[in-house]
Chain A
Amino acid sequence: MSTLVIRQLHVAIVDNETKKQTEIIKGLDLTINTGETHAIMGPNGTGKSTLSQAIMGHPNYIVTSGDILVDNVSLLAKTVDERARLGLFLAMQYPVEISGITNFEFMRAAMNAQRSPKEQLSIGNFMAELQRNLKMLNMSEAMLERYLNEGFSGGEKKRNEILQMMMLRPKFAILDEIDSGLDIDALQVVAQGVNALAGPKFATLMITHYQRLLDYIKPDYVHIMMDGRIVKTGTGALAQELEQTGYAHLRDELGLDIKLVDED
């Protein structure tokens, strides 16, 4: 079993122009073991995406205090690629498009990056694995010859993220709003992919606005995030409850003095 521990984490974002730091995550604790499925929900602007980027090591997000550890090893000094090779995967909310590199080339390079020079994947094994996953995600092989995410529809991009996750088999997969921009059918397909990986060596952290996703990927834990902290943790039932009552209600119930971004 592996464990991802986030301890009293504070994260600031740096404005590229003014170089001004703004604190977004304000003391967050979270422990995820492989074999578990977690969901983080919360109103807009509470730092859900910031958390995912900070775990992955995006250079614009600065950890000002606290720690992120995988099996007791701190990630803070590790580069983005080292974190990935330790078993972290972030399915991005907005995957970038990269021209001139085919999806196929990219995926093969990524798979081989995890392996030592002696254990590079044979093209046969790679193709077999790829075809199996493409089929599960209802994706056509033509996607492989297209440039990485270039001209992909929103749904295609999300599927492509899940395809990469299935190929790379991480220990900890963070899915940042994987449900946004997906219709019901696509959502089911994506959920199928995530569920296929479920097992004792795999953990999921879903970041979502909607309870709907949790109908397809059942969480063991649901965490509610507000103003840079986790304010409540419960089971799937908590998400359903929130769907009825809303975030403002929960805030008032907890007696928190927080202004929600979309509140007038």
Chain B
Amino acid sequence: MVEKVEKQALATAMERILKQVEPQWLKEIRIQAWQRANQLELPRVDKIAYKDWPQFITSKTIIKQQKDIDAQQQIEYQLSNYADHYSKKLAKSMQEKGLKTYTFKEAIQLVPQILKDQLIKMLKQANTKTEAYQIALMTSGWLIKVPDNVEIDEVLTILTDQASDQQTDYCNQTIVILGKNSKLKIMHEIASTPQSASPTHIGVNITLHANAQLQYIGLDQLASNFGYLKRTAHLATASQLNWQLVDLSKGNLISECTSHLIGAGSESKINVISITSQQQQHGFNTKLLNYGHHSKGEINQRGVLLDASKLVFNGIGKIYHGAHGTYANQENRLMMLSSHASGDANPILLIEENDVVAGHAASVGQIDKQQLYYLMSRGLSKAMAQKLVVTGFLSKTIDSSIDQALAQRILGKIEEKLVNG
């Protein structure tokens, strides 16, 4: 039933998008993606049965909003994308160094070849229905490019804010390309404006050329009933990518993050923090794929569950044939703060080479009563003791290389979510 309604809505959306004034090459990519989508299946996320959730059309139920979005508005984002509106306030130093940023429409006009190559590449790699739809239906996003040999030390802040008044879902795509020996830090905040209930599809696609270094922080605070986040990176020789994903979304969520360690000696770390509350269900597919020899990957996922929520961490590590001397490690840990919550931590390691180092650890547990007792014996209230233990547990997954002020902001948001649910 849902499927039939959704198909109809998607077809209407597609028709509308194809009527837009866009170059023929883009229309062709969209049509190919559309056809592809119809042949593919939804992404498989173990232990979470999400396939019956409405994922592509506005659902009637509106999630109860909390007032915390106002705080975001006070921050000046260098790139912000509210619905189809964009604003750019790039730091002068970034512009002078040669950082290029294009809105989706600017990219079509000014750098069509780059955009086209990216979209074709993405389409080729798309192996799920959701990914293909994302390409067919994308209407907004950024293209960010750092030229070769340019190192930017400041943090580039990006806001992707879903609009409330969309009839169909929101498809947004951020493309990041780092040239050889370049360096960048990104803080990407993903939010929904109040009253928004339409499904959200957000993609982040990263390409790192040789020796490039990127730190990507994703702070996800979606309010939509359903959010699908797809983050993918391809790493060339000796490039490095640290993902720091912080999921504080209020609806249901499927979050996929994949690092393709293609180049020799490339390195990627994926740190994930998630807090679920009420009836929320969040599922994560966090993947590290080692192709290049001596590549190195590490997954660290920590989650806290409140109320009757559900949280699943799938950690997938694959070392391909030929990836000699690689390293792949993962840790998935859940802390349950409610007996009604359900959680799963599933590490999966697939190894095709012998001379590698790979390991995994997983745990699902409750808050340690001895720790609470110890803290309370020093006069801390139970609530305060619990807050310290839980934030302590989660903060172990905040990368130490992250700017202190940003780390504080993340911790503040985590505390808010723990208190407000």
Contact = CB atoms under 8 A, between A and B. Distances in A.
Nearest to A109: B380
Interface size class, chain B: 20 to 34
A83 B382 CA distance: 13
B369 A59 contact: yes
Contacts of A213: none
A114 interface: yes
Interface residues of A, number: 28
Contact of A81 (B371, B379, B395, B396): B379
Nearest to A80: B376
A144 to B, nearest CB: 15
B374 A100 contact: no
B401 to A, nearest CB: 16
Interface majority SS (helix, strand, loop, mixed), chain B: helix
A246 interface: no
A101 B389 contact: yes
A99 B393 contact: yes
Interface in A60-102: 79-81, 83-85, 89-90, 92, 95-96, 98-101
Given A59-B373, A109-B388, A113-B384, A99 B379 contact: no
B412 interface: no
B67 interface: no
A84 B378 contact: yes
Scoring A101, A114, A147 by chain B CB atoms within 10 A of each residue's CB, the highest score goes to A101
B22 interface: no
Interface string B361-376: 0000000111101111
A106 interface: yes
Contacts of B395: 100
B210 interface: no
A222 interface: no
A147 B392 CA distance: 9
A4 to B, nearest CB: 16
Interface in A99-150: 99-101, 105-106, 109-110, 113-114, 147
Given A80-B373, A96-B370, A164 B378 contact: yes
Scoring A58, A96, A114 by chain B CB atoms within 10 A of each residue's CB, the highest score goes to A96
A95 B379 contact: no
A85 B379 CA distance: 5
Nearest to A97: B371
Nearest to A100: B392
Interface string A159-187: 00000100010000000000000000000
A110 B380 contact: yes
B381 A113 contact: yes
A54 interface: no
B233 interface: no
Contacts of B262: none
A57 B378 CA distance: 12
B214 interface: no
B313 to A, nearest CB: 18
B157 interface: no
Scoring B380, B393, B396 by chain A CB atoms within 10 A of each residue's CB, the highest score goes to B380
B382 A106 contact: no
Contact of B379 (A58, A92, A100, A113): A113
B339 interface: no
A80 B377 contact: yes
Contacts of B391: 100-101
Given A56-B377, A105-B388, A113-B384, 9 more contacts: A79-B376, A80-B377, A81-B381, A81-B385, A84-B379, A100-B396, A101-B388, A101-B389, A168-B379
Question: 10 nearest interchain CB pairs?
Answer: A100-B392, A84-B379, A101-B392, A80-B376, A110-B378, A113-B379, A81-B376, A100-B396, A96-B374, A100-B395
26 contacts: A58-B373, A59-B369, A59-B373, A79-B382, A80-B373, A81-B376, A81-B379, A81-B385, A83-B377, A84-B376, A84-B378, A84-B379, A89-B377, A92-B374, A95-B374, A96-B368, A98-B371, A98-B388, A100-B394, A101-B388, A101-B391, A105-B388, A109-B388, A110-B380, A113-B384, A168-B378
Interface of A: 56-59, 79-81, 83-85, 89-90, 92, 95-96, 98-101, 105-106, 109-110, 113-114, 147, 164, 168
